[in-house]
Amino acid sequence: MKYISTRGQAPALTFEEVVLTGLAPDGGLYVPETLPSFSQEEIASWANLSYQELAFKVMAPFVDGAVSDTELKRIIAEAYSSFRHDAIAPLVQTGHNEWVLELFQGPTLAFKDFALQFLGHLLDHLLKKRDQKVVVMGATSGDTGSAAIEGCRRCDNIDIFILHPYQRVSEVQRRQMTTVLEDNVHNIALEGNFDDCQNMVKASFADQSFLPEDRQLVAVNSINWARIMAQIVYYFYAGIALGAPHRPVAFSVPTGNFGDIFAGYLAKRMGLPIDQLVVATNSNDILHRCISDNDHSKHQLEHTLSPSMDIMVSSNFERMLFDLYDRDGDAIRQLMDDFKSGTMTLNNAALEKAQSLFSSHRVSDERTVEVIRDVFDHCEYLLDPHTAIGVEAARQTRRRKDVPMVCLATAHPAKFPDAVREAGQDSDPALPHHMADLFQREERYDVLDHDIAKVQDFISRNIRP
């Protein structure tokens, strides 16, 4: 299995190389040269597998021997051993043929744990094998950072630096990052928004001259292919639990960076009978506008009750564009150049493909709060604001009532008490037992100006020998 860049001017890499590379040298994102596909009979045979067993079946073709089967099974087992529910990704029914897939049972209460617990253990294995030390640099709108830190905090060969927008993540999200006090963990609160953080990370990957000669950057954001690969698994897990491949299933995905729903698109291409994929956005709706109106233009970023989706530059959408444009790297380079000026327009063929693959819907803060209240009133199930956006988008765009609709629950409601209070709850949702003392733990982070030279200097000074 080889991996190629969406912009067509970088050499193809092996799985091990692509995990350790992040962005391609031409600025593109790596994708598999070919996708594995599974027959209906093969998918049906997986009906009684545990989540860990299924993860091995889905991911092994992408790894293609770069990690032995024995080691891959061990990495998967260790990655999901810290999850609080034996099902790993349990389903809860919230309406007629409507289900919530709980992706918040991991150690940091967000769906990012699925990929980043796996990636942390994978990196630890690869780096020990290569006797190599690296620097992990990532940007977070709230959840990626804590999940990445949790995945890497015990890795001797990694120094990790996470940028989050100062005072623009929830208190629970911040404390999950800043109360991890290991020597290899550094939290940077950047004076700016998430897109500023993400742009700084991309620029640093493009020019790594600020690092010592024996170090390189490794990505933990969803530009890293291994994260997308790990997220494909729970689409198969939910689909099979609800009757696939003998009947189709639909998914609604709250998304800002397009990585999570891109994994669903790949699951469909790999053989899972997905009838509908819904792109659910908040008022930062560039993905909804692009799919519905061919309007992929940057607007002023709004700060919402669903901060993990407060994103205007959806990095993983480039991977989708690559397929919409029949894997034409030249066309993708031109589109990305166009977007630097603030907008880009899809050609008719690409737009028609996008509209055939995805439904989309935008949900306001006001409606988000109403949905949290409505679902709780009807079934006493408490949604976080991101999941509420997914539920509302599903209900507004659903095509077939006879097809199970799965709404991805991307975070635990305790991470977003402001939204829960606005929905009329008398008290904040309780944190799980392992995190009950979060607000008493010591914090450590550094507030830095929106200045790449200052950030890079901070990183270079804090890398362990």
Active site members: 112
The answer to whether 278 and 250 have CB atoms below 8 angstroms apart is: yes
State how far the Cα of 382 lies from the Cα of 358, in Å rounded to an integer: 27
- Among 227, 232, 298, residue whose Cα is nearest residue 269: 232
**Joined tokens for residue 214:** 């024996």
State how far the Cα of 93 lies from the Cα of 95, in Å rounded to an integer: 6
Q: If residue 361 lies in a helix (H) or strand (E), which one and from where to where?
A: strand 358-362
Half-sphere exposure of 444 (CA within 13 A, CB side): 10
State how far the Cα of 189 lies from the Cα of 74, in Å rounded to an integer: 35
Calculate the alpha carbon distances from 221 to 1, 32, 240, 316 in Å. 22, 18, 28, 10
Q: If residue 259 lies in a helix (H) or strand (E), which one and from where to where?
A: helix 259-269
Calculate the alpha carbon distances from 294 to 24, 283, 352, 394, 419 in Å. 27, 17, 10, 21, 31
List Cβ neighbours of 350 (8 Å cut-off, separation of 6 or more). 321, 324, 325
State how far the Cα of 129 lies from the Cα of 27, in Å rounded to an integer: 28
Length of the chain: 465
DSSP 306: -
State how far the Cα of 229 lies from the Cα of 222, in Å rounded to an integer: 10
State how far the Cα of 410 lies from the Cα of 340, in Å rounded to an integer: 30
State how far the Cα of 165 lies from the Cα of 10, in Å rounded to an integer: 31
The answer to whether 62 and 15 have CB atoms below 8 angstroms apart is: yes
- Read off φ and ψ for residue 15, nearest 5 degrees: -60, -50
State how far the Cα of 438 lies from the Cα of 126, in Å rounded to an integer: 32
Beta-carbon count within 10 A of 441 CB: 14
Q: If residue 163 lies in a helix (H) or strand (E), which one and from where to where?
A: strand 158-165
**Joined tokens for residue 98:** 């409507």
- Among 368, 463, 456, residue whose Cα is nearest residue 163: 456
State how far the Cα of 316 lies from the Cα of 222, in Å rounded to an integer: 7
